[in-house]
Amino acid sequence: MASRKSSARQALRDGRRGALWGCVLGLTWLFSGPPVLAGEPSPEPFVIVVHPRNPIESTGGEFLADAFLKKTTRWGSGETIQPVDLHPGSPVRKVFSETVLKRSISAVRRYWQQRIFSGRDLPPPELASEQAVIDYVVRNPGAVGYVSGAAQVGGAKVVRLR
């Protein structure tokens, strides 16, 4: 009898432990997305998106940095470049700024404060969501933006970063 009670208690503890691990895994999935299976490539931290009629297929990081800092203002086709940023709290913006612009978000903001104060230019618009960036890019022929690699880009064109 004692052994049956002991095994019943053990089964109850094991069941609770299993339920706890199920909750942990469920919360992990909820906050970080589905797990990547072995052999399946993980999405890029960000992708560059342009208007679908933009003829470029790839761009260099230096050209892109100059476009976002408005040091370069025209595409090769002559179209005015219209960069668009995600909001400053976006983790995608943080990676983009550090990777492409080679600056932190706060350093980029200081750069723009100096440009505004000297009357030289205004920063790119900051949009609240990846979908807003995609919508902006699709509506504006000279637009360029970035979204997470897992984003659904809709009608925007993804450009390879060299």
The enclosing domain of 134 has a CATH number of 3.40.190.10
Range of the domain at 34: 1-41
- If one compares 140 and 28, the residue with the highest pLDDT of the two is 140
Type of residue at 19 = A
Whether residues 6 and 83 share a domain: the answer is no
Task: Give the per-residue pLDDT at 89.
Answer: 96
Whether residues 65 and 36 share a domain: the answer is no
Statement: residue 5 has pLDDT above 80: no
Statement: residue 52 has pLDDT above 90: yes
Whether residues 129 and 97 share a domain: the answer is yes
Whether residues 79 and 137 share a domain: the answer is yes
Backbone angles phi, psi at 144, to 5 degrees: -145, 135
Task: Give the per-residue pLDDT at 43.
Answer: 82
Q: What is the pTM of this model?
A: 0.74
Q: How many CA atoms lie within 13 A of 15 on its CB side?
A: 6
